[in-house]
A and B are shown apart, each in its own frame.
Chain A
Amino acid sequence: MRIELVKRKEHSELMSLMSPLIAVALTAISAGIIFAISGINPLEGLYKFFIDPLTQQWSLEATIDKATPLILIGCGLSVCYLSNNWNIGAEGQFVVGALFGSFLPILFPEFENALTLPLMLIFGVIGGALWGLIPALLKTRFNTNEILTSLMLVYVAGLLLDYLVRGPWRDPDGYNFPESRIFSDAATLPEVFGGFMSMSAVITLVIAIILAVVLAKTVKGFEIRVMGESPRAGSFAGFSSKRLTLFAFAIAGGLAGLAGTMEVSGGLNQLLPSISPGYGFTAIIVAFLGRLNPIGIIVAGFVLALSYIGGEGVQSAMGVSNKIASVIQGLLLFFVLACDTLILYRIRIVTRRSSAATGEASHV
């Protein structure tokens, strides 16, 4: 018996919709098995993990807060991945964006007016984009593999943040704790809809919708998809792959940087040695689960955000390690990638008997 792939004549539309759902279902089954191994009733565990966070207002708000950066970063990454640029350094672009976004309230705390917040957000975008452009420039100029360089810069960004909050940017009145001063009200993103949603969530939603339109309806969106699928065809159409690489990294970095600034300004309200529970990496899963489509990414962002909140939930209620969240995230990406095979191929299980019977048919 062996597994054989039979190429479909064209992409299966049904499977493009179904594959993320199948992947989520398979992940839930695997999670149930992990719960069972940990000595917990799998159904109770799954309920606590995936459903319970949606039933209470506070946890629903927390889920939205977690989904926001994931969606924003995931949207940027989708531009990279669609155009075949492997940016895996969004975590670093998030951090550097946060640094650029917070130098104003940290170094110039007396600069408090209506311009403070918009300037912070713009600086955040610039910071993330600049950090993202480093691997892009190295790729276009020296042909250097962007996967490794973008990842290496994650570590560098983390150390830079660590240096700043322990050194020059440490709060002078903070009893030597490694943290920056707390942002003033003028530098804090407000909440909207009676505190139910943050401003970040609204901005993210708007950006995701704009990106969806750009990708689906504009020449730029067409260029991104063509260059990803067939760079040769794209170059005949006059598209420059180098310029697109720079564009994709700048967008991805800029959005990650914006997410970083909004996380610091809207949530943490200060810089700490660590400002992200791995959003930049989880957003990679979000991008793939959302099938590199901004609307899909919004849904996927919520699924992955649930895993953070659900992880905390099962830890406090059932004593399972909250590390189970990252295990489930990893499994989910595996299943998404495995299920994507179904879009391009039909899977046939060949036993000795059936291979003799269908042997001739497959040559037709």
Chain B
Amino acid sequence: MFEAVLLTVITAATPLLIAAIGELVVERSGVLNLGVEGMMIMGAVIGFAVANQTGSGTIGVVAAIVAGMAMSALFGFLVLVLVANQVATGLALTILGLGLSGMIGEAYIGVPGLRIPELYIPYLSEIPFIGPVFFQQDAIVYLGFALVIGVAYTLFRTRAGLILRAVGDNHGSAHALGYSVLKIRFLAVLFGGACAGLAGAYMSLAYTPQWVENMTAGRGWIALALVVFASWLPYRVVVGAYLFGAVSVLNLHAQAIGLGIPSQFLSSLPYLATIAVLVLISANRRLTLVNTPACLGKPFVPDR
């Protein structure tokens, strides 16, 4: 029983984890991309459609990543080149993504999906309990963990990470030192788009291998909240994602046990939990001020 619960928590947490780690990098560079939901749903529909057409889950995943990046490039062009309002542009990205995915996905409603296969890690997967839970997952779950480690290492242990954080904390100084603020931010935005696309592919090719309109159901927004929850620190994203994964599968398991609580109340828990967590974190001024990228959401126009 516990093993089964833990398995569902991992699958529920993975898309949140991947989308959030991507957005963390974007925000560390000083850009607020509120369009995670839109990029994610595009990843989900393109991933599903391409996997369905080619019969290959891998090609589907790659296509989803490209779709997420294409969406983020559109966002990047608007907010970085045209200096459009970041909040409004992010919203536009979400609205466009939801509409476009609905249109593309209409042909795929009710079409049986394709599940990307599990990868059994040799030997480790045979360990009782730990094996089935942690080492018999699909490649994207492993990739999620690799992303967290990679991002944490890059941000805090490499020169590239230092530059990225400098751009996010003080774009004026970074520019004066000769770094191309806009180019670095654009790359960060693309990375965020790739992660959101991957998270979307996980939704439609692993979590529930089918296409349902609006199937991300606010997960992109929860991923955004996770970045705040994690106070922009990669390892805390893991904690947050698993916490939220657990809350969101509560519904499933509570119904199985047969508690008399209306399902709508349980379904609303992840959203209410998000609000509660945001309040707790933001009420603690010192915690948020230390790690919040100082230039988050502020436009930068280089004076040439």
| CB pair A284 B91 closer than 8 Å | yes
How many angstroms from the CA of A324 to the CA of B85 in the assembled complex?
25
With the chains together, A199 CA to B125 CA distance in Å?
Answer: 67
Interface SS of A by simple majority: helix
How many residue pairs link A and B with beta carbons under 8 A? The number is: 135
State whether B95 touches A147 (Cβ < 8 A): no
CB-CB under 8 A from A337, the residues of chain B are 78, 82, 84-85, 88-89, 92
Which A residues touch B85, using CB under 8 A?
Answer: 337, 340
Whether A333 pairs with B88 at a CB distance below 8 angstroms is yes
Bound complex: CA of A344 vs CA of B299, how far in Å? 13
Q: Does any Cβ of A come within 8 Å of B99's Cβ?
A: yes
Interface 1/0s, chain B 146-166, versus A by CB < 8 A? 000000000000000000000
Q: Could you give, for residues 265-281 of chain B, a 1 whenever the CB lies within 8 Å of some chain A CB and a 0 otherwise? A: 10110011011001100
User: Does A163 count as interface, using CB distance less than 8 angstroms?
Assistant: yes
A152–B221 contact, CB under 8 A? yes
Residues B82 and A338 in contact, CB atoms below 8 Å apart: yes
Q: Which residue of the partner chain B has the closest CB to A148?
A: B225
- Give the contact-size bracket for chain B: 35 or more
CB pair B103 A143 closer than 8 Å: no
Q: Is the CB of B221 within 8 A of A151?
A: yes
Find residues 69-84 in chain B having any chain A CB closer than 8 Å to their own CB. Answer: 74, 78, 81-84
**Cβ < 8 Å to A, chain B residues 1-50:** 34
Does any Cβ of A come within 8 Å of B97's Cβ? yes
Bound together, the chains give a CA A340 to CA B304 distance in angstroms of 22
Contact A163 B99 (CB under 8 A): no
With contacts A138-B279, A330-B100 taken as known, whether A285 is within 8 angstroms of B106 at the C-beta atoms is: no
Query: Is residue A14 within 8 Å, beta carbon to beta carbon, of the partner chain?
Result: no
B275 touches A159 (CB 8 A): no
Instruction: State whether the Cβ of A326 lies closer than 8 Å to any Cβ in chain B.
Output: yes
Contact A5 B95 (CB under 8 A): no
Residue of B nearest to A152 (CB): B271
CB–CB B84/A333 < 8 A: no
B89, B102, B264, B288: the one contacting A334 at CB < 8 Å is B89
Chain B: minimal CB distance from A58 (Å): 26
- Would you give the shortest CB distance from A40 to chain B, in whole angstroms? 14
Residues of A within 8 A of B97 (CB): 330
- Chain A residues whose C-beta falls within 8 Å of the C-beta of B218 in the assembled complex: 151-152, 155
Determine if B278 and A149 form an interchain contact, defined as CB atoms under 8 angstroms apart: yes
Closest to B267 in A: A159
Whole-angstrom CA separation of A163 from B87 in the bound complex: 32
Q: Is the CB of B221 within 8 A of A148?
A: yes
Q: Are A153 and B275 in contact (CB-based, < 8 A)? A: yes
**Given known contacts A155-B217, A155-B218, A321-B102, what 11 new A-B pairs fall within 8 Å (CB)?**
A149-B278, A152-B218, A159-B265, A162-B264, A323-B99, A330-B100, A333-B88, A334-B74, A337-B92, A340-B85, A362-B304
29 A–B contacts, CB within 8 A, in A order: A3-B81, A4-B304, A5-B301, A88-B91, A138-B279, A144-B278, A145-B282, A147-B87, A148-B275, A149-B278, A152-B218, A153-B275, A155-B217, A155-B271, A163-B265, A167-B262, A281-B95, A284-B91, A284-B95, A326-B98, A327-B99, A330-B92, A330-B93, A333-B88, A334-B74, A334-B96, A337-B89, A338-B82, A345-B301
